[in-house]
Structure 1
Amino acid sequence: MLVIELARAIPAAGLRQLRLFLAGVAESVEERRVGEFDLQVRVESLGVAGAGRGEGTRPMLVSVSGPGFGDEEVFDAEHADEVDQERFVGFTPTHAVDVIAFCGARFDHVVVALLTAGIMDAVGGVANAELHEDQLPLVAGLPGLLARRREPWEAAYGTGEFLRAWAATPGFRLVK
């Protein structure tokens, strides 16, 4: 799972761009409510290698949360124990996009990272990636890294470029 922190709600034009992007990378897309998408992502559409036979598509959920989109409780709960993110991302998030895989193979982690980067190209925002302590040095010199933090848990904040670079590193793996 990765989270995209947003400074404001996604405007209508951004939602159109998001829908177009998702339709381009998924075999099927179902929008259950405005901003919540069940997907079968075509792995090859993101340039991900390593999918075995029968693994050409992967189930994913993309969910916008925050005022006006639903899941306000989810947004509030996810941000209740967060530190003041303004010092790391330059704003206090009002909305977020969660990108969630329903599988856990190594390439699923890469698919989530690349899918998240593509979503950021469509809607903007800053990726908030929880890290294991030993991953902090691995992300230190990557392009697009905006900030790292150690407390209350390790995390990195970055651009789509950061996610693409990190996903290309040997042994890449997301925490959640």
Structure 2
Amino acid sequence: MSGPVLVIELAEAVPRAAIQRLRNSLACTSARFEEKRVGEYDLHVHAESLGITNTGGVDGRRPVLVSLMGPGIGDEAIFDAERADEVDQEPLVGFTPTHAVDVIAFCSSPVDHVVTALLTAAVMDVIGGVANAELREDQVPIVAGLPGIVATTTDPWPAAYGSAEFLRAWVQQPGFRLLK
């Protein structure tokens, strides 16, 4: 996996009805849609379906994996491993995550960074949660004043936590790029 990754932190398990709404929403944005298991989707997202008109000359169908994980849904070991070196998130986001969604791009062109952020925002519109985005140090002051920001931290590495509104605002910043 060579592209950017965003994580949506969740305070509880996602209800089955919300997972079905997510599935339907993702199927509508994709040229290719494969459900690997309930809550895990291999996609070729139409960049245009997210409002992206400038794809930089690359194919507008971008390969992405969306994977809901945690107890009772799947990938529990990955969920636990990803949290092993995380800071205590409760003081930052107001809860200790019990589940998460990884949005993983398989390519790393500039449009893949935008697709990852906007697709993550679209997923959050359906299931909620707080986006967890690792940052470069020079990005911390840029994101700190954006709408929808919940918290930023620099320890043990720079990261921002925010809403779907935050992700949409960040994409509009000059030189926007996610950290891999």
What band does the TM-score fall into relative to the shorter chain?
A: over 0.9
Answer with 141-150 or 43-52: which moved more: 43-52
Shift of 1:49: 2.8
Inter-CA distance 47–79: structure 2 relative to 1 (3 Å threshold)? same
Cα distance in 1, alignment partners of residues 172 and 100 from structure 2: 25
Q: Report the secondary structure of 1:134's partner residue.
A: helix
Answer with 27-36 or 127-136: which moved more: 27-36
Show the counterpart of 1:133. 137
**Amino acid aligned to 2:47:** V
- Structure 1 vs Structure 2 CA RMSD: 0.9
Show the counterpart of 1:108. 112
1:47 matched to 2:51:
yes
Cα distance in 1, alignment partners of residues 57 and 162 from structure 2: 33
Q: Report the secondary structure of 1:174's partner residue.
A: coil
Contact 1:136 1:154 in 2 (8 A): yes
Which consecutive unaligned segments of at least 5 residues does structure 2 have?
Answer: none
1:146 matched to 2:153:
no
Across the two proteins, how many residue pairs are aligned to each other?
176
Cα distance in 2, alignment partners of residues 32 and 140 from structure 1: 36
Shift of 1:50: 2.4
Shift of 1:16: 1.3
Shift of 1:20: 1.6
Show the counterpart of 2:30. 26
TM-score, L = length of structure 2: 0.95
Show the counterpart of 1:57. 61
Which consecutive unaligned segments of at least 5 residues does structure 1 have?
Answer: none
Cα distance in 1, alignment partners of residues 90 and 58 from structure 2: 43
Contact 2:6 2:104 in 1 (8 A): yes
Q: Report the secondary structure of 1:175's partner residue.
A: coil
Structure 2 counterparts to residues 71-86 of structure 1, below 5 A? 71-86=75-90
Show the counterpart of 2:71. 67
